């Protein structure tokens, strides 16, 4: 009776498993049923514990029944699994199918920032007359930012530049002029370079930003005069704003140039007639310039008796404001796509 009962149990488990496999609703449920009946702790392994109670003569027959049942269940499992996965794949395809008549997802296209556009245009204009670009670190030594440019510690012009100090020896550069000093110390004349890039000053309102951009030019050669400087700047301004733009130079003071001048041009918006941009004067200040001070040349190891030079500098945001008629410098750094899309 015991042996017959064990055989019946094997048959009952097999029939129960087959019915459960066929009733499984998805592949995960089917797999859980496989574990239940055929797993390490499943029903068939549990019944094997009863094998030891069976007579030795019956064990081969019972073992054969177990193997046959397991083989049948493995086959049934594979068949059910194939059917369920096929159904799941069809359902997934139906859910994820594309309606090719629907409009595609809109992808916005980026563009260059207006400051980048102005820098590229300025560099392109000046490169046509031999200038090439140099760069330098944003954190500069006090020596390169001030001392090398004839601005010692007690010089009153330091009060004009509201400086961010890292420590007594290093600052966030207040202009790109340190690039000029670095170039004059590392390269031999003749030199003709541009130094575009960000600078930092402690100042912030609708016309000033603590972080803005400058481009400075430097030329060192023999027999350089103010006429050469005026010719270069006049060429640059006319190429940037139009050939009908007029340029004027007003005496000024910069510790690293002598003589020095402020550069104005006729307002590109009103063509010199007077408007809100130029405060009805017809003229707009765009930068500063001058012949390099002999002390700067000597400090950088250049013979001031043999070599002369000129330097000029323009605020890039100011040029962009004039060029595009923008009334608030803060728009350049706010990342408002409504503003940036206009460029």
Residue 295, classed as helix, strand or coil, is helix
Same domain, 313 and 185: yes
Residue 88 belongs to a domain: yes
Same domain, 84 and 118: no
Same domain, 193 and 88: no
Residue 273 belongs to a domain: yes
Residue 51 belongs to a domain: yes
Same domain, 181 and 76: no
Of 32, 67, 96, the last residue of a domain is: 96
Residue 109 belongs to a domain: no
Same domain, 215 and 319: yes
Same domain, 152 and 63: no
Same domain, 17 and 43: yes
Same domain, 123 and 245: yes
Assign 3-state DSSP to the chain and report helix, strand, coil percentages, each to 5: 45, 20, 35
User: How many domains does the chain fold into?
Assistant: 2
Same domain, 36 and 127: no
Of 32, 61, 96, the last residue of a domain is: 96
Task: Judge whether 258 and 289 are in contact, CB under 8 Å.
Answer: no
Write the CA distances from 250 to 78, 178, 225, 264, 273, integer angstroms: 92, 25, 16, 8, 20
Residue 106 belongs to a domain: no
Same domain, 204 and 285: yes
Residue 37 belongs to a domain: yes
pLDDT at 133: 96
Same domain, 163 and 279: yes
Same domain, 206 and 335: yes
Structural domain including 303 reads 114-340
Q: Could you read off the pLDDT tens digit of each residue along the chain, which spans 343 residues?
A: 344 577 788 888 888 888 888 888 888 888 888 888 888 777 777 777 766 666 777 777 777 887 888 888 888 889 888 988 888 888 888 787 777 788 878 887 788 899 999 999 999 999 999 999 999 999 999 999 999 999 888 776 666 557 888 898 999 999 999 999 999 999 999 999 999 999 998 776 655 678 889 999 999 999 999 999 999 999 999 999 989 999 999 999 999 999 999 999 998 888 878 887 788 888 989 999 999 999 999 999 999 999 999 999 999 988 998 888 887 778 888 888 888 888 8
Residue 96, classed as helix, strand or coil, is helix
């Amino acid at each position: 009776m015991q042996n017959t009962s064990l055989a019946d149990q094997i048959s009952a488990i097999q029939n129960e498993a087959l019915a459960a496999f066929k009733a499984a609703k998805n592949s995960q449920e089917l797999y859980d049923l496989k574990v239940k009946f055929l797993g390490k702790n499943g029903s068939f392994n549990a019944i094997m514990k009863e094998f030891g109670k069976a007579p030795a003569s019956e064990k081969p027959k019972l073992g054969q029944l177990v193997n046959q049942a397991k083989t049948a269940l493995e086959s049934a499992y594979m068949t059910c699994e194939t059917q369920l996965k096929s159904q799941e794949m069809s359902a997934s395809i139906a859910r994820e199918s594309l309606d090719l008549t629907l409009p595609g997802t809109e992808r916005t296209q980026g563009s260059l920032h207006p400051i980048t556009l102005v820098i590229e245009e300025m560099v392109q204009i000046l490169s046509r007359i031999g200038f090439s670009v140099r760069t330098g670190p944003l954190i500069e030594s006090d020596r390169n930012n001030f001392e090398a440019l004839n601005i010692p510690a007690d010089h009153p012009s330091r009060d004009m530049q509201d400086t961010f100090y890292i420590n007594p020896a290093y600052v966030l550069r207040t202009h790109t002029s340190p690039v000029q000093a670095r170039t004059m110390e590392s390269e031999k004349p003749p030199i003709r370079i541009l130094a575009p890039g960000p600078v930092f000053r402690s100042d912030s309102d609708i016309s000033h930003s603590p972080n803005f951009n400058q481009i400075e030019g430097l030329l060192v050669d023999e027999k350089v005069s103010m006429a050469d400087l005026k010719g270069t700047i006049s060429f640059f301004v006319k190429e940037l704003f139009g050939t009908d733009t007029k340029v004027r130079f007003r005496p000024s003071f910069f510790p690293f140039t002598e003589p020095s001048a402020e550069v104005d041009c006729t307002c590109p918006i009103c063509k010199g007639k007077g408007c809100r941009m130029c405060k009805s004067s017809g003229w707009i200040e765009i930068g500063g310039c001058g012949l390099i001070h002999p002390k700067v040349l000597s400090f950088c190891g250049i013979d001031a008796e043999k070599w002369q030079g000129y330097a000029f500098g323009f605020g890039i945001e100011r040029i962009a404001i004039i060029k595009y008629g923008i009334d608030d410098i803060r728009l350049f750094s706010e990342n408002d796509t409504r503003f940036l899309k206009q460029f």
